[in-house]
Amino acid sequence: MKRRLLLLGGAALAALLIAAALAWPRDEFVPAASPDAWAATSANIARGAYLARAGNCMACHTARGGAPYAGGRAMATPFGTLYTSNITPDRATGIGKWSADDFWHALHNGKSRDGRLLYPAFPYTSYTKVARADADALFAYLRSLPPRQVQNRPHALRFPYDSQLALAGWRLLSFTPGVFEQDDQRNPQWNRGAYLVDGLGHCSACHSARNQFGASDKGLGGGLIPTVGWYAPSLNADSEAGLGKWKEEHIVQLLRTGVAPGASVTGPMAEVVAQSLQHLNVEDLTAMAVYLKSLPAGPVAAPAPAPRPPEAVLEQGSQLYRQYCIDCHGARGEGLGPYPALAGNRALSLHEPVNAIRVVLNGGFAPATSGNPRPYGMPPFSHVLDDTEVATLLTYLRASWGNTAGPVSSAQVNRYRAVPLD
C-alpha cells in the first residue's frame, strides 16, 4: 500500500512538473509602438487615468482607509486570502523599477517583473485582451501617481494553492494569453463595447460561474462572487439581468447613474458604478450597452415555478411586510415614488437568494453619482428581524404578486448575516 501511494504521489508530481514546463514558456510579446507611448505627457496620463477608471483598478488596489493604489486590500477566496499589491511608483515596494514591458507582461501574460506567476484574482485572464497601446497609457498614469512606500502583504493561502507549481498547472488548464479579436460581422461600436466588457472591464470576473479550482467559464452567465458573498446575475438570461429587451438609453443610464426605469444597482455593482462606470464617456457606455444588449441569443427559459409555501408562512410574511415594507413598496409590491417595485422584480426572484438576504439585513444603497447625487436607499433590518423573520419575509416576497421563486430558509439567512468587510 505504501509503495502504491508513493507511486501515485510521484505520478502526480511528474504531472505537475510537466504542467509547469508547458505553462512557463507560453509568453507572448507585443512591442510598444515607441517609447513615446508611455512617456509622462499630459495626453498619455489623461488617457491612462481614463483607462484606470474603466478597469476600476483603484477599487482592488486600495485597502479600506489606505492610500490609493497602494494595495493591501484583502480578497477572501475558497483557497485562502489574497492581498492586492502596491502599484504606485515607489521603487522599494511598488512598481517604480518596472518597465513598460514588465507592466504589459503582467496584464497580458499574468507574470510579475521577476517572472513569478500571478494569481488570477488579478484578472489577467481578461486583461490579456488589453491592447499594448492601452497598457502603455495605463503605465504612464500609474507612474505619475505619488509613490507610497507600503510593503506588500504576503498571501495567506492553504497548501497546495500557495505553490507556484500548482499555479502553473492551473494556468495550463485555464489560461491562454491572447488579444482582443475584432468581429468583422459587427460594427466598430459593438466591437468597442466587447473590448471594454470582456477586456479592461473584466465583467466576467464577477458575472460568470467558477469551477472547483476557481477558473471562470469566461461567459457572462452569472455566478457567486466568493470574495464578497454576493451573486452577480447572468447578463445573457432575461430571467436574471439580461438586457436584450432594454432600450439602449436605459442601459447607459443604469451604467452611468446607478438607476434606470424599473431598476437600480446595489451591493458590489454600486461600487463599480460609483468608482468606474459613471466616469466613462457616453460613447463608451453606449458601446457597452450595444454589446450587452446583443448578448441574449434568444428567449431564455425562466426557472420552473417553485411550490407555493404553506399559507401560515405566507400570512406571517404578509404581517411583516405590512409592518416594515408597505410604506415604500406599496400594498401590491408596486413600488411607491423612487422605491422599486417588488412585483416582477428579477433581482428578488433569482434562484440564489443571497442578494435579497444581503439587502434586507444590511440595507440596499444605490451609488451617489453625478447623475443621481442623492439616491434613495433602504435601511438595514439585521438589528430588527431575526433569521426566521427575514426568511419568512423573503419567502413571502418571492411568492407574491406574480413572483414564483423558491422559499428562503433561516439557515441561508444566518450564513449571510455577517456584513462583508470588503
Alpha helices of 39-198 — where are they, by DSSP H? 42-55, 57-60, 100-109, 124-127, 132-143, 164-174, 188-195
**Range scoring the smallest mean pLDDT among 135-144, 158-167, 178-187, 304-313:** 304-313
**What confidence tens digit (pLDDT) does each residue in 28-59 have?**
777 777 888 899 999 999 999 999 999 999 99
**Do the bridges between strand 259-260 and strand 156-157 make them parallel or antiparallel, or are there none, so unpaired?**
unpaired
CA atoms of 124 and 177, how far apart (whole Å): 9
Task: pLDDT band for 301, please (50, 70, 90 cuts).
Answer: low
One domain, residues 272 and 384? no
Residue for grid cell 466588457: 197
Same domain, 30 and 128: yes
Average model confidence (pLDDT) for the chain?
Answer: 89
- 156 and 230 belong to one structural domain: no
Which percentage of the chain shows pLDDT scores above 90?
72
Q: Is the pLDDT of residue 299 over 60?
A: no
- In this predicted structure, the answer to whether residue 226 has a pLDDT above a threshold of 80 is no
pLDDT score, position 311: 94
- Please tell me the total count of domains within the chain: 3
Q: Hey, what's the cell of 282?
A: 457616453
Do 100 and 29 share a structural domain? Answer: yes
Q: What angle do CA 62, 66, 69 make, to 5 degrees?
A: 35
Instruction: Note whether residue 421 is domain-resident.
Output: no
**Predicted confidence band of residue 307 (pLDDT cuts 50, 70, 90):** confident
Domain boundary among 174, 209, 238: 174
Q: What are the beta bridge partners of residue 257? A: none
In a domain, 340, yes or no: yes
Interval 261-288: pLDDT, tens: 888 999 999 999 999 999 999 999 999 9
Which residue among 244, 260, 294 closes a domain? 294
In terms of domains, do 158 and 200 share one?
no
My answer on whether 30 and 154 are in the same domain is: yes
Whether 192 and 168 share a structural domain: no
pLDDT reading at 23 higher than 50: no
Read off the pLDDT band of 237 (50, 70, 90). Answer: confident
55-83 pLDDT per residue, tens: 999 999 999 999 999 999 998 888 999 99
Q: What predicted TM-score, i.e. pTM, was given to this entire model?
A: 0.88
Of 174, 200, 215, the last residue of a domain is 174
In the prediction, which pLDDT does 357 show?
A: 96
Higher-pLDDT residue of 12, 36: 36
Q: CB under 8 Å to 411, separation ≥6 — which residues?
A: 387
* 141 found inside a domain: yes
What is the DSSP secondary-structure string of 196-222? IIIIIT-GGGTSS-B-TTS-B-SS-S-
Question: For position 297, what pLDDT does the model report?
Answer: 57
What pLDDT, on a 0 to 100 scale, did the predictor assign at position 229? 83
Do 165 and 196 fall within a single domain?
no
Dihedral over alpha carbons 192, 247, 205, 353 (to 10 degrees): 180
The type of residue at 236 is: N
Q: How confident is the model at residue 8 (pLDDT cuts 50, 70, 90)?
A: low
* 30, three cell numbers: 507585443
47 with 150, same domain: the answer is yes
Q: Is the pLDDT of residue 227 over 60?
A: yes
* Higher per-residue pLDDT: 397 or 206: 397
Same domain, 32 and 145: yes
| CATH classification at residue 204 | 1.10.760.10
Asked, for residue 301, whether it belongs to a domain, the answer is no
Whether 302 shows a pLDDT value over 70: the answer reads: no
Instruction: Examine residue 198 and state whether it is found in any structural domain, yes or no.
Output: yes
pLDDT given at position 199: 95
- Does residue 159 contact residue 112 with C-beta atoms inside 8 Å? no
- Assess whether pLDDT exceeds 80 at residue 16: no
Q: How confident is the model at residue 2 (pLDDT cuts 50, 70, 90)?
A: low
Among 116-120, 232-236, 295-299, 321-325, where is mean pLDDT lowest?
Answer: 295-299
Q: What is the mean pLDDT of residues 223-245?
A: 87
247 shares a domain with 156? no
Residue 224 predicted with pLDDT over 50: yes
pLDDT > 50? residue 194: yes
Distance CA 9, CA 3 (A): 10
- Output DSSP code: residue 278: G
Quickly tell me which residue has 509503495 as its cell: 3
pLDDT at 105 over 70: yes
Give domain status of residue 330, yes or no: yes
Average pLDDT over residues 229-236: 89
Cα–Cα distance, 62 to 57 (Å, whole number): 9
Structural domain includes residue 420: no
Could you give the residue ranges of the DSSP H alpha helices within 118-275? 124-127, 132-143, 164-174, 188-195, 248-257, 268-275
Name the nearest CA neighbour of 406 among 332, 363, 359, 354.
Answer: 354
How confident is the model at residue 1, as a pLDDT? 53
pLDDT at 257: 96
Nine-digit cell at 217?
A: 467559464
| 81-90 tens-digit pLDDT | 999 999 999 9
112 and 35 both lie in a single domain: yes
Q: Is residue 396 part of a domain?
A: yes
Its domain, for residue 329, covers 311-415
Taking Cα atoms as reference points, which of 28, 83, 51 lies closest to residue 199?
Answer: 51
